[in-house]
Amino acid sequence: MSIRLKLALILTLGIAGAAAAAGAVFLHLERESLRQAEEEKVRLVLDSVRRMAEEAALGKDPLMLLDYLAFLKKDRPEIQHCRVELGGRWQDVGAVPAEPAGGMVARAVPIPGGSAEVRFSSEVLSRREAAALAATVRLVARATALVFAAGLLVSAGLAWTLTRRIVLIEGALTAIGEGRLGETAPAEGSDEIGRLARGVNAMSARLKELDELKKTFVASVTHELRSPLGAIQSRVSEMASDAAFGPEQRRGLEAIRASASRLEHFVTNLLEAAKIERGKLEFTPKPCRLGPLVEDAALFFAARAKESGIALEAKVAPGLPELRLDPDLLTQVLSNLISNALKFTPAGGAVTVSARTRDDGKALLCSVADSGVGIPADAMARLFTPFERIRNPLKATGTGLGLAISKSIVELHGGSLRAESEPGKGSTFSFSLPLPT
């Protein structure tokens, strides 16, 4: 759940909780005041009985009080029964009713020469109180719902405002994580979020600086290494052909040559990757046919394949159309894919390089399929990451840069490179090159 949604929920719940609590307190107070109002009504009835009894005593007319009580009993539904005690004798006003379901509350009133008693129905009293309370509950519920709706709107607005800058910082961090160094977030305000944005921006600028430094460093170091390496290689070749060296020395020279060659491969790949990273790779496309490039590459590796006991075959569909491509760069891709296939296929296996028009006719499809060790499913995603080498039973050498470079070169041509593999059965690397429409 996003922080924006969480904040909106928390604020809404807070507002709703406060509104509900206020409603509950209000209802409690209202119930209290309703009870007091009912009490007051009972007290007024009893007062009126007392006053009527005093008037009846003054007029020496006890019937007056009895009539009044009969009237009250008829007029007030809450009065169940009344009786008067005069001269030590109780006299009921009307028939004595049966005890009602909710019980009765008997209240005595002292009157001149005796007392009167009025019995109220508890049920009628509490029903009247409940009806008044229900009306208040409805009002409070309506008010709470209104506050809740307003709270929801206010919370959503508040959550959006408060988290807007956090979301922008998150976007900048995601971009930096994806490699878009130098990306910034708006550094507004002097609060913690503003300071966080400024920190992220400073980090992003520093990372960009360091990245530039790294690229320049790698490019210049690899560039500087190439000339002395070339000199070592040519000198070693010269020495190897010198008859003055015996077999022992020749073995030593061969070891130096192999190491220098590995180092040269590494330096070349590193330089190539650095050029791609800095956007400085020379890309000079020209109208070209893919078929001969595929056949030449396969031919180049024929000797190595034979040496490794692998059947290498090139299958080029006839009449492939011409398209604009950089033959040197594409040869580099084919070389890496074929050399990988040979490296990761044991003796007795097969490697097939093929080129054809894609079924939809919109691109040329070139693939290098082998019957080698294959690649585990969980490693497929990192296959094209620089320096990534997947563990497998065949201990082949390499820098782990070939596929990353190949992918960039294919993408430079507007195509895409993908891999399919089944561990133990083999792999197929294929790339497409879009044909002009």
Partner from ligand ATP, Mg ion, none binding residue 312, C-beta < 5-8 Å depending on class: none
When CB distances are held under 5 to 8 angstroms depending on the partner's kind, the choice from ligand ATP, Mg ion, none that residue 389 binds is: ligand ATP
Binding mask 242-281 for ligand ATP (x = CB under 6 A): -----------------------x---x------------
- Using CB under 6 A, which of the segments 76-84, 117-125, 244-252, 391-399 binds ligand ATP? 391-399
Q: Is 340 in the site for ligand ATP (CB under 6 A)?
A: yes
As a whole number of angstroms, the distance between CA 317 and CA 303 comes to 23
52 binds ligand ATP (CB under 6 A): no
**Could you say whether residue 332 binds ligand ATP (CB under 6 A)?**
no
**Of 76, 83, 128, residue with least CA distance to 102:** 128
Report, in Å, the least distance between residue 337 CB and Mg ion.
Answer: 8
| Binding partner at 341 among ligand ATP, Mg ion, none, C-beta below 5 to 8 Å by kind | ligand ATP
Beta-carbon contacts of residue 300 (< 8 Å; ≥ 6 apart): 335
Distance between CA atoms of residues 234 and 227, nearest Å: 11
Q: Residues binding ligand ATP: what is the number (CB under 6 A)? A: 23
273 interacts with, out of ligand ATP, Mg ion, none, CB within 5 to 8 A per kind? none
How far apart (Å, rounded) are the C-alpha atoms in residues 190 and 199?
12
> Per CB under 6 A, which of residues 348..377 are in contact with ligand ATP?
370, 372-373, 375
Distance in angstroms (rounded) separating the CA atoms of residues 245 and 248: 8
Least distance from C-beta 277 to ligand ATP, angstroms?
15
For residues 397 and 266, give the distance between their C-alpha atoms in angstroms, rounded to a whole number. 10
CB within 8 Å of 250: residues ≥ 6 apart: 240
Burial 371-400 (b: 16+ CB within 10 A, else e): bbbbbeeeeeeebbebeebbebeeeeebbe
Q: Closest Cα partner for 298 from 322, 286, 285, 315?
A: 315
Please say whether the beta carbons of 200 and 183 come within 8 A. no
Sequence-ordered alpha helix ranges (H) in 322-387: 327-343
Q: Which residues of 54-190 form beta strands (DSSP E)?
A: 79-86, 89-93, 104-111, 114-121
One-letter amino acid of 13: L
Q: Which of 66, 84, 172, 341: binder of ligand ATP (CB under 6 A)?
A: 341
Residue number, 172 or 330, with CB nearest to ligand ATP: 330
Minimum CB distance to ligand ATP smaller for 202 or for 377: 377
Segment interacting with ligand ATP (CB under 6 A) among 82-90, 157-165, 184-192, 386-394:
386-394
Q: Whole-angstrom Cα distance, residue 160 to residue 150? A: 15
Residues 392-431: x where in contact with ligand ATP by CB under 6 A, - otherwise, as a string: x-----xxxxxxx----------------------x----
Smallest distance, Å, CB 220 to Mg ion? 25
* Residue selected from 8, 344, 371, 410 as contacting ligand ATP according to rule CB under 6 A: 344
Tell me: does residue 389 bind ligand ATP (CB under 6 A): yes
Structure tokens at 37: 């109002």
390 makes contact with ligand ATP (CB under 6 A):
yes
Residue 301 lies near ligand ATP (rule: CB under 6 A) = no
Residues contributing to the site for ligand ATP (CB under 6 A): 265, 269, 336, 340-341, 344, 370, 372-373, 375, 383, 388-390, 392, 398-404, 427
